[in-house]
Structure 1
Amino acid sequence: MRKILFTGGGSAGHVVPNIALIERLLANGDTDVCYIGTNGIEKGIVAQWKIPYYAIDCPKLVRGGGFKGLRQNVRIPFSFLRAYKQAKKGLLSFQPDAVFSKGGYVSLPVVYAAKKLKIPCFAHESDLSPGLANRLSARACEKIFTSFPETAKRFRRGVYSGAPIKQSIFSFSKTAARQRLGIDETKKVLLVFGGGSGSKIINDALRNNLKDFTSKYVVLHVCGKGNLVDSNVKNYRQFEFVTDMGSLYACADVVVARAGAGTVFETLALKKPTLFIPLEGQTRGDQWENAQYFASKGLCKILPQSTIEKFPQAIEETFLDETLTQRLQETSFPPANDFILREIRRAIDK
């Protein structure tokens, strides 16, 4: 039986695509899998799959942060060496045939240790502009799969594959999902969420206009852990956290979300008209680039965070944009799961 070790973490975007591949492998039953990550968000996400998990203490580069950030960055070489040794121990214990990295700072020591042990490594880059971890680990990888065709050209071993997407988001029909949640099929449904931990800006923009929205739509709101509010407003459903978005996506006529690559490709694959509000100021600008790429092709809409006061107007325009809906119906963004796994199997078996 083949063995594949997965790594990636720091945010849900570096974990969920791995889960898309892991759930396919477990369903097939022909591959043993395990995971190396930190004790952070990835550990909780992976836990539900009940696979072996090796936690390592991995340093993260601090961008900015003044003297405190500088002091932490100075310690990185020593912390990285410790993480490298921990990763090597996990690799020797599991003895995988291949390593698959989804990026994030935790992936670097794992990929470097695997390269030293002569274990073939593969990685996936979700964003239009490659992240730091994948740029640094590229030379140690057999192939770097990419969600965007243009991104593949930035790696010597880049291969355009599309994005890994969990099959479970395709599990519900609109009718079945609405029956499950008790929503009238004749109603328009607005789905709003702001990433794994929620978004205060999006939450506030929605709730400040809730009376207007709920007079026209059923609103499904994933607000993030600790962000629930007391509310008995008709046509408003709030959820603190949802592990599987399939039923909510199926209900929705329009989606409002951040523009992490995972969300972008999920909404495109599901052909959902979406208004993206890219995260600003806390990232390298990847969310804006991801959304702008598809907005330029007429496949989504963007509301800059700096103009959040136009939130109600932007949602209304998204509902009314029949051209957007038509373009989405004419495009196809199939999950890359099978392609990526086939390429890894081919490398293992040759």
Structure 2
Amino acid sequence: MKKKINILRAGGGTGGHTFPIKSMIQYLDKYHKEQVGDHFWAGSRRSLEEKTVSDLQKQMKNLTFLPLLSGKWRREKGLEAFLKNIWDLFKFTIGILQSLVYLLRFRIDVVFCKGGYVALPVVVAAWILRKKILVHESDTRAGLVNRIASNFSSHNFVAFPEVLKDGIIVGQILSEDLIPEKKLVKKTENTQVLVMGGSQGAKTIYESLLTLLNTEEKLRELNFVVVLGQLNQDLKAQFLSFQNVEVKDFCTQKEIGMLYETSDLVITRAGTTSLAEQDLFGIKMIMIPIPWTHDQKNNALWYVEQKKGILIDQEDPDFMEKLKTILIEHIDWHKDLKIVDHLGIISQGKEKISKILLELK
């Protein structure tokens, strides 16, 4: 009997790292179950990745979460940043030792790195033991961990050209959970605007929208669905005071897929996974990149050039006025309701990765 492959995923910290790993695990379990032995996921304690594994374990018995210490390198100057870097260097070293134990104990064949600081100790340990390493980079500009990992990997997968050396273009890793089980229709004929600025650092977007709703009566002609996140709950009552606003605290991927299906416009940050999901459903994107990262601005610029998305700089003095103008200009804008093979598009990249991964035994 042919030996089954044991796979260790490394990555997490944000949804952009976590949900693609989840999607790859589900895909392999559904379509290549007979070729995979055990699934492992190395990540931080009390993290999004640990919660995601806990949820997946309700359907999968061969998935194990491996807690790992890791550190973050800070580029700021000063004594505080220096001391934190020293402490995190110690944690990083412990993380490498933990990873060596995991790789040997569980007889890991392949490491799949998605990025995030927690992935780097695993990559270093895998290189020491000469294990096969695969890297997937979602952004138009590779993150530090994936740039390092790509030097040790056997294959680098990318969503955009010329991001990593010898990158194989597979697009974004998206979840089948996004695809609604049946065709959905909007509750009204009005244009529906989905607002999902995220939780951390998104208050400016939500507060600006509240100001516009209070001062610009024409915006009452739009229907808004606002996904607030856990850190913006203090704004919930204000949003609910408007009859044309529906509020969601948090959405699963299934729920997000249903909102994508019925939305025409989206006000969003510019993480590439979210942008790819929105593009898949034909939504017009109004992108407001996080100001303190160049990655999101680069991502947004690509979608402006290739997909006719709209980019607004949050730090522009005329930010609120520009947002108002764009919304008013799109009051009667409705997306094209053409039939799209969502499953086929989502599966292409994952199957390409799976084929290469399963041949590495």
TM-score (norm 2): 0.85
**143, 148, 153: which one pairs with 1:131?**
143
C-alpha displacement of 1:147? 0.5
Q: SS of the residue aligned with 2:302? A: helix
Q: Does 1:194 align with 2:197?
A: yes
Q: Does 1:221 align with 2:230?
A: no
Task: Show the counterpart of 2:323.
Answer: 311
Task: Show the counterpart of 2:207.
Answer: 204
C-alpha displacement of 1:94? 2.4
The answer (yes or no) to whether the contact 1:198–1:224 under 8 Å persists in 2 is no
C-alpha displacement of 1:65? 6.1
Which blocks of at least 5 consecutive residues in structure 1 are unaligned? none
**227, 249, 264: which one pairs with 2:275?**
264
Worse-matched range after superposition: 58-67 or 255-264: 58-67
Task: Show the counterpart of 2:60.
Answer: none
Task: Show the counterpart of 2:353.
Answer: 340
The answer (yes or no) to whether the contact 1:214–1:235 under 8 Å persists in 2 is no
What is the total number of aligned residue pairs between the two structures? 334
Counterpart-to-counterpart distance in 1, 2:290 and 2:205: 10
**39, 42, 55: which one pairs with 1:36?**
42
Relative to 1, partners in 2 of residues 1:185 and 1:83: Cα closer, same or farther, differing over 3 Å? same
Counterpart-to-counterpart distance in 2, 1:207 and 1:89: 52
Counterpart-to-counterpart distance in 2, 1:101 and 1:52: 16
Q: Deviations over 1:49-88 (max 9, x none)?
A: 1131011110111232632112111334322210101112
Worse-matched range after superposition: 288-297 or 188-197: 188-197
C-alpha displacement of 1:268? 1.7
Q: SS of the residue aligned with 1:139? A: coil
Q: Deviations over 1:143-192 (max 9, x none)?
A: 110010232xx41x3211111111111225552xx4xxxx5242321100
Counterpart-to-counterpart distance in 2, 1:107 and 1:132: 11
The answer (yes or no) to whether the contact 2:53–2:64 under 8 Å persists in 1 is no
**22, 46, 65: which one pairs with 2:25?**
22
Task: Show the counterpart of 1:273.
Answer: 284
The answer (yes or no) to whether the contact 2:10–2:115 under 8 Å persists in 1 is yes
Q: SS of the residue aligned with 1:118? A: coil
Q: Supply the AA of the counterpart residue of 2:354.
A: L
CA RMSD of aligned residues (A): 2.5
Task: Show the counterpart of 1:162.
Answer: 171
Counterpart-to-counterpart distance in 2, 1:206 and 1:133: 35
C-alpha displacement of 1:204? 0.8
Counterpart-to-counterpart distance in 1, 2:81 and 2:332: 47
Q: Supply the AA of the counterpart residue of 1:38.
A: S
Which blocks of at least 5 consecutive residues in structure 2 are unaligned? 58-62
The answer (yes or no) to whether the contact 1:278–1:305 under 8 Å persists in 2 is yes
Relative to 1, partners in 2 of residues 1:65 and 1:17: Cα closer, same or farther, differing over 3 Å? farther
Q: SS of the residue aligned with 1:215? A: helix
Counterpart-to-counterpart distance in 1, 2:296 and 2:73: 19
Relative to 1, partners in 2 of residues 1:83 and 1:318: Cα closer, same or farther, differing over 3 Å? farther
Q: Does 1:74 align with 2:79?
A: no
TM-score (norm 1): 0.87
Q: Does 1:85 align with 2:97?
A: yes
Relative to 1, partners in 2 of residues 1:329 and 1:150: Cα closer, same or farther, differing over 3 Å? farther
Relative to 1, partners in 2 of residues 1:52 and 1:186: Cα closer, same or farther, differing over 3 Å? same
**300, 307, 310: which one pairs with 1:301?**
310
The share of aligned pairs that are identical, in percent, is 27
Task: Show the counterpart of 1:255.
Answer: 266
Counterpart-to-counterpart distance in 1, 2:39 and 2:142: 26
Counterpart-to-counterpart distance in 1, 2:16 and 2:305: 23
Q: Supply the AA of the counterpart residue of 1:301.
A: I
Q: Deviations over 1:316-348 (max 9, x none)?
A: 3355678xx67x999x99332121112211223
Q: Supply the AA of the counterpart residue of 1:58.
A: S
Worse-matched range after superposition: 312-321 or 160-169: 312-321
Counterpart-to-counterpart distance in 2, 1:52 and 1:129: 31
**4, 13, 23: which one pairs with 1:10?**
13
C-alpha displacement of 1:10? 2.2
Relative to 1, partners in 2 of residues 1:26 and 1:185: Cα closer, same or farther, differing over 3 Å? farther
